[in-house]
């Protein structure tokens, strides 16, 4: 799990000082000089979230943005009788080839019971394969089959098309701000997602 955590840290903390101005909707995010998320709040938000109207505006934008992002993929998943959890599984297996079942549980933040049925379904449909390494037969390492890789790429392709379009419309500053906010949101989970010994099966 440490390799996944380290990659996430490199992507979210690559610079100690950074200021990003988002030109749309009057948002401005300023990352403080000390990038340790545990020691400092990390961002100054120029949108006053003490006001209920601003709270609702921010949450509504997030809700409808996520709804648009998942709409096409949801249609494709439904044709196979799948749900979003199936996409999350194949996405992270594609993102981190050879990750263990325990690592996948940690990344997804779900229980074994919640993961068991969809993972077995993906294996039964020859989209995911599970193997045991020679040095530890107790461990199960996951990978995508050729068909599984095509399936994951098809889902991702539709979502990337949408991102490409809205990123082009919003401009680089807005995209940088969007990435900064989403990485900060993700960090609130990732910081506590890896218990001691998570690398061991």
Distance, CA of 86 to CA of 152 (rounded, Å)? 10
Tell me the C-alpha distance between 96 and 100, whole Å: 10
The alpha carbon dihedral of 195, 128, 156, 63 has a sign of negative
Sequence-distant (6+) residues with CB within 8 A of 68 are: 162
What six digits make up the tokens of 81?
Answer: 């009788």
Q: Can you give the pTM of this predicted structure?
A: 0.70
Residue 130 φ/ψ, nearest 5 degrees: -125, 125
Domain architecture of the chain: domains with CATH: 2-52+69-190 (1.10.10.10)
- Condensed to tens digits (0 to 9), the pLDDT of residues 52-93 reads 999 999 999 999 999 999 999 999 999 999 999 999 999 999
pLDDT of residue 3: 60
pLDDT tens by residue, 90-102: 999 999 999 999 9
43 pLDDT more than 50: no
Nearest in space to 118 (alpha carbons), one of 136, 131, 105: 105
Please tell me the predicted confidence (pLDDT) of residue 62.
Answer: 94
Q: What is the pLDDT of residue 33?
A: 30
pLDDT bracket for residue 132 (50, 70, 90): confident
More confident residue, 140 or 136: 140
Q: At what angle do helices 112-124 and 84-95 cross, to 10 degrees?
A: 80
CA dist., res. 32 & res. 44, Å (int): 8
Considering the chain, what is the average pLDDT of its residues?
Answer: 79
């Amino acid at each position: 799990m440490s390799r996944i955590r380290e990659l996430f840290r490199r992507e979210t903390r690559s610079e100690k000082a950074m200021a990003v101005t988002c030109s749309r909707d009057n948002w401005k995010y300023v990352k403080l000089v000390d990038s340790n998320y545990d020691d400092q709040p990390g961002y100054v938000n120029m949108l006053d979230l003490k006001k209920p109207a601003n709270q609702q505006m921010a949450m509504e934008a997030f809700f409808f943005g996520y709804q648009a992002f998942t709409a096409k993929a949801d249609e494709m998943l439904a044709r196979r009788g799948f749900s979003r959890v199936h996409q999350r599984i194949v996405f992270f297996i594609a993102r981190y080839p050879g990750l263990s079942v325990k690592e996948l549980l940690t990344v997804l933040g779900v229980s074994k019971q919640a993961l068991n049925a969809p993972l077995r379904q993906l294996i039964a449909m020859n989209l995911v394969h599970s193997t045991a390494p020679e040095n530890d037969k107790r461990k199960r390492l996951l990978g995508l089959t050729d068909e599984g890789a095509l399936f994951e790429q098809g889902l991702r392709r539709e979502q990337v098309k949408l991102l490409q379009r809205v990123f082009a419309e919003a401009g680089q500053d807005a995209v940088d701000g969007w990435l900064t906010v989403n990485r900060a949101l993700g960090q609130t989970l990732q910081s506590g997602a890896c218990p001691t010994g998570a690398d061991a099966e």
